[in-house]
Amino acid sequence: MQQPVVRVVCAIGQSGQIGLNGGLPWEGNRSPEFLADVARFFDITRGHVLLAGPKTIASIPEFARSDRELVVVRSSMNPEDTLMRFAGRVVFIGGGPPVWDAYARFVSHWDVTRLPYDGPADRWFNPGWLTEGGEIAGNRRDR
Ligand SMILES: NC(=O)c1ccc[n+]([C@@H]2O[C@H](COP(=O)([O-])OP(=O)(O)OC[C@H]3O[C@@H](n4cnc5c(N)ncnc54)[C@H](OP(=O)(O)O)[C@@H]3O)[C@@H](O)[C@H]2O)c1
């Protein structure tokens, strides 16, 4: 059976900030790089499947709801079975962190924008997601 292509597009602050009080930590910042990042996210994911937790899906603005397939995932759902529903499609895993914990091992492409924000957050990027599912124990002294 054909597999979906599984990708992530996300934005982080300088220290890995991802979320604050249910929104983006830099919410309301109208500087060009922040506006361009949001526009880019909606451009890249247009026409594809966006699979994310309930809070993240609820935060998708009305204008972006009709031209992509939004799928709420829950912790009761099996990630393999969920992804196989979208065989042949491009599936973006939209977060939040518990969803990336569960789906990181299937991701073939991480697209991470590091924005010029270095304030508070209550959700953080985990660099371990990038190598999730790899089975060879790394020897950091060799790097
Ligand atoms: N910077 C970025 O690019 C970016 C992207 C996305 C989100 N965010 C930020 O992140 C925050 C929202 O994320 P969030 O984590 O709080 O809420 P969320 O989006 O609702 O995602 C977490 C929820 O997903 C559900 N879930 C689905 N599959 C799961 C699995 N296999 N294992 C565990 N849980 C699973 C769980 O809810 P149940 O147990 O109820 O099913 C979990 O509580 C906001 O601040 C948002 O702005 C930032």
Q: What is the pLDDT of residues 20-47, one digit of tens each?
A: 999 999 999 999 999 999 999 999 999 9
Which has the higher per-residue pLDDT, 42 or 141? Answer: 42
pLDDT band at 128 (very low <50, low <70, confident <90, very high): very high
Q: Is the pLDDT of residue 123 over 60?
A: yes
Provide, rounded to the nearest whole percent, the portion of the chain with pLDDT above 90.
92
Q: Give the CATH fold of the 5-123 domain.
A: Dihydrofolate Reductase, subunit A (3.40.430)
**β-bridge mates for residue 93, sequence order:** 51
Ligand 1 proximal residues by C-beta, below 6 Å:
10-11, 18-19, 22-24, 52-56, 59, 73-75, 77, 79, 94-99, 102, 123
Taking the domains of the chain in order of start, what are their residue ranges?
A: 5-123
Do 54 and 74 contact (CB within 8 A), yes or no? Answer: yes
Q: Using CA atoms, how far apart are residues 140 and 136, in angstroms rounded to an integer?
A: 12
pLDDT band at 140 (very low <50, low <70, confident <90, very high): low
Distance 72 CA to ligand 1 centre (A): 10
For the record, the structure tokens of 34 come out as: 């922040």
Mean of the pLDDT values across residues 105-113?
A: 98
Q: Which atom of ligand 1 is nearest to the CA of 21?
A: 45
Q: What is the pLDDT of residue 141?
A: 61
Do 137 and 59 contact (CB within 8 A), yes or no? Answer: no
Q: Using CA atoms, how far apart are residues 116 and 94, in angstroms rounded to an integer?
A: 21
Nearest to 7 by CA among 129, 91, 120, 89: 91
Q: What is the pLDDT of residue 2?
A: 79
